[in-house]
Amino acid sequence: METEIKFEHVGIADILARYTLNLPLNQREYSWEDEHVQDLLQDIANSIRDRREAYFLGTIVLTISKTGALEVADGQQRLATTTMILAAIRDFYLEANDDTRASAIEAKFLFETDMDSAERRPKLTLNSDDNVFFQTKVLARPAQRGEINPSRRSHKLIQKAFIQIKKFLSQ
Residue 2: CA count within 13 A, CB half-sphere: 1
50-91 pLDDT, tens digit each? 998 877 788 888 888 888 889 999 999 999 999 999 999 999
Average pLDDT over residues 157-163: 98
Sign of CA dihedral 94, 98, 101, 107: positive
Bridge partners of 64, per DSSP, are 70
Instruction: Give the 3-state DSSP-derived string for the chain, with helices as H, strands as E and coil as C.
Output: CCCCCCCCCCCHHHHHHHCCEECCCCCCCCCCCHHHHHHHHHHHHHHHHCCCCCCCCCCCEEEECCCCCEEEEECHHHHHHHHHHHHHHHHHHHHCCCHHHHHHHHHHHHEEECCCCCCEEECEECCCCCHHHHHHHHHCCHHHCCCCCCCCHHHHHHHHHHHHHHHHHHC
144-155 pLDDT, tens digit each? 998 899 999 999
Give the pLDDT band of residue 2 (cuts 50, 70, 90).
Answer: low
Give the pLDDT band of residue 3 (cuts 50, 70, 90).
Answer: low
Q: Which amino acid is at 142?
A: P
Give the pLDDT band of residue 34 (cuts 50, 70, 90).
Answer: very high
Give the rounded distance of the alpha carbon of 68 from its chain centre.
21
pLDDT, position 147: 87
Give CA–CA dist 134/142, Å, rounded: 13
pLDDT, position 131: 94
pLDDT, position 145: 93
Res 134 pLDDT > 90 = yes
What's the chain's average pLDDT? Answer: 91
